[in-house]
Structure 1
Amino acid sequence: MPHLLHLDSSARRSSFSRELSARYAAGWTGTRTYRDLAADPVPVIGEAWTEICDALLGNGVTEPTHYATVVETPDQKTAWAIVEPLLNELLEADVVLIGAPMYNVSIPAALKAWIDQVTFPKMSLRGKQFVITGARGGTYAEGTPRAPFDHHERYLRDFIAGHYDVDDVRFVHAELTNALVDPHLAARDGERKASREAALKAL
């Protein structure tokens, strides 16, 4: 039975990215693991984590099931105790669903901390599918004036496809969400509603 790893990273308990990821998850017919990275933050990596990476490179270890073989010192064992459950959740998933709003033209720190914890040198996740449900205060769609500032989708696509060697990365965004609160965008609230409805339909 296919397994879904569902991650949310919005600091808002009620958010567009959470609404979109929940819509996708509601249609999932297999098993599911859920992790709220904002409510239960993953610690940032420390020096012991970097030592594990160095050992993996030095010993030519590229298979995730063998990563623990290079863990030696007490500090490394403490670091690995954080990594291991997160990494196992990722490796067990057939599809990784990530609710990821755009914060300051990039991704939330909570999501970046998770990525750092579960990412190691020469690590391949080929065969998995990633689905990213995003929400952006403005619009960063191709052809818009703000498109060059999109370090949200571009970062995630480049990283997941480039480092993880994943060839199936899908994005669904709700754009112009700040039209709800920013008077300067109020005239574009119709576009916001249309973007949300299109995203929900796509999911």
Structure 2
Amino acid sequence: MAHLLHLDASARSDSFSRELGAAFVEHWKAAHPGSAYTYRDLVAEPVAPIDEARVKLATQSSRNGVRDIAAMDEIAAAPELADAWAQTRPLIEQLLAADVLLLGTPMYNFSIPAALKAWIDRVTLPWLPLEGKSAVILSARGGAYGPGSPRQPFDFQEPYLRAYFSALRLEDVEFVHTELTHAPVMPFLEQFRDAHQTSRAAALEAVRALAVRVPATVPAS
């Protein structure tokens, strides 16, 4: 059975992206009993931003042709790299163990939260193999950024994440968005409250269908 790694990046405990993530997991577990599940809250359990030592890990891994964790262990035994690798290694192990990566992320200032960016920067090394995995991105946006909307050109969330995963050869990426999440709380968006509820309901239904459809078994190599 497959292994689902679930990461939440919203600063709000009652966020719409967390709502979508919780719904996905509920349907995933019901549809795929016995599948493995790992969860990390990137806000409650933040990942340290990268520093010079972490950058040197990437440089050394490229210079030495590293292809796996064992080879990285040898390079990172150097005293100036050991602490950076100790913070990075468990996150990479967790990611490599997963077959499906579930990201719950709001849009902050047209892109992703710093909590998620810190995780991306920490785990990404030149040799990181993600081909064959699947990713599901569940997002919440304060406005409307869908195709044809006036703010579509300001969406630097979905294009960034698509480019990131593609660069790591992970092409099976699905997105579900809840939009206009500011409408219930901001008076100047009051006229969009019905549109928000429609978007939210559609997103929850899409999540239900996606949780059943996303592969839960790993093909034989």
Q: Shorter-chain-normalised TM-score: which range?
A: over 0.9
Q: Does 1:26 align with 2:17?
A: no
Q: Following superposition of structure 1 onto structure 2, how do residues 32-71 of structure 1 map, counting pairs within 5 Å?
A: 32-71=37-76
Q: Does 1:144 align with 2:149?
A: yes
Residue aligning to 1:73: 78
Q: What number of residue pairs does the alignment pair up?
A: 202
1:99 offset after TM fit, Å?
A: 0.2
Q: Following superposition of structure 1 onto structure 2, how do residues 1-203 of structure 1 map, counting pairs within 5 Å?
A: 1-28=1-28, 29=32, 30-162=35-167, 164-203=168-207
Partners of 2:78 and 2:72 in 1: CA distance: 14
1:69 offset after TM fit, Å?
A: 2.3
Unmatched tracts of structure 1, length 5 or more:
none
Residue aligning to 2:215: none
Tell me the alpha carbon deviations over residues 123-146 of structure 1, each in whole angstroms, 9 at most, x when there is no partner: 330000000000000011011110
Partners of 1:166 and 1:77 in 2: CA distance: 29
1:161 offset after TM fit, Å?
A: 1.4
1:122 offset after TM fit, Å?
A: 4.3
Partners of 1:122 and 1:139 in 2: CA distance: 36
TM-score (norm 2): 0.89
Partners of 1:125 and 1:92 in 2: CA distance: 10
Q: What is the aligned-residue identity percentage?
A: 50
Structure 1 stretches of 4+ with a deviation exceeding 4 A read: none
SS at match of 2:182: helix
Partners of 2:106 and 2:75 in 1: CA distance: 35
Tell me the alpha carbon deviations over residues 28-65 of structure 1, each in whole angstroms, 9 at most, x when there is no partner: 23110100001111100111111111111111113345
1:48–1:79 Cα contact (<8 Å) kept: yes
SS at match of 1:137: coil
Give the RMSD, CA atoms, in angstroms: 1.1
1:64–1:123 Cα contact (<8 Å) kept: no
Partners of 1:147 and 1:167 in 2: CA distance: 22
Partners of 2:46 and 2:196 in 1: CA distance: 30
Unmatched tracts of structure 2, length 5 or more:
208-221
Partners of 2:52 and 2:205 in 1: CA distance: 44
Greater length-normalized contact order (CA 8 Å, ≥ 6 residues apart): 2
